[in-house]
Amino acid sequence: MGLFAVAVVWSVVEGALRWLAAHPAVGALLLAAAGGGLAFWGVRRRELARWERVRQRGLRYAMPQIDALHHRQFEHAVRDLMRRDGCPDAVQVGGAGDNGADVKATDPFGRRWVVQCKHRKAGLAGAAVGTPDLHVLNGTGRPVHHGDVVVLVTNGRFTANAVDFARDQRLHLVDRHLLARWAAGSAPLWELLRAVPPPRRPTSLS
């Protein structure tokens, strides 16, 4: 049965080729149509990619939008903000076994960013992010994930002890107020944070 089916298919293909050879004008039209279809698809893909870049550059979030997100959606929002600011390789990696990293990215200056996200449904009224979360991030951000800039982002607030610990360990904190500025598109995150490491490589932006 298998050999019979192959024989039938080959017979049909052979007949079609003979017919096209006898009608070269039709064959040329078919080839032109196929080429046009491929060209249209290529243009369409480029247009979609261009509009995606435009969308990301214009991405804005208001804090009520961020507060309404699920914690996983919050991670994706942070990833998209990094992409908007010029980190096309930004990826959401949060989940079981993430070793304290929810988003990773490389900025235009070659610096590797490792970001942990802590979402609070109640915003400032939610539980403050404390040192235990920073202990995990500090233990993995550089040794495991090889981050140059290690950040914890929350739509809430941090305890005073967490702020002191982050300063001592060269961790960067993005609280609700700083997140609001970043999400509104005021500037890339590396322009809003203090004491960010110098660029790894010279670029047209440096």
Tens digit of each residue's pLDDT (9 = 90 or more) over 90-133: 999 988 777 889 999 999 999 999 999 999 999 999 999 999 99
Tens digit of each residue's pLDDT (9 = 90 or more) over 129-147: 999 999 999 999 999 999 9
CATH code of 119's domain = 3.40.1350.10
Q: How confident is the model at residue 156 (pLDDT cuts 50, 70, 90)?
A: very high
Query: Are residues 89 and 51 part of one domain?
Result: no
Q: Residue 201: inside a domain, yes or no?
A: no
Query: Are residues 67 and 15 part of one domain?
Result: no
Query: Are residues 76 and 45 part of one domain?
Result: no
Query: Are residues 74 and 175 part of one domain?
Result: yes
Q: Comparing C-alpha atoms, which of 43, 105, 40, 41 is closest to residue 75?
A: 105
Residue 27 is part of which domain span?
A: 2-57
Mean pLDDT of the chain, nearest integer:
86
Q: CB-based burial of residue 46 (10 Å sphere; 0-12 exposed, 13-18 middle, 19+ buried)?
A: exposed
Cross-strand pairs, 114 = 104, 150
Section 65-82 average pLDDT: 98
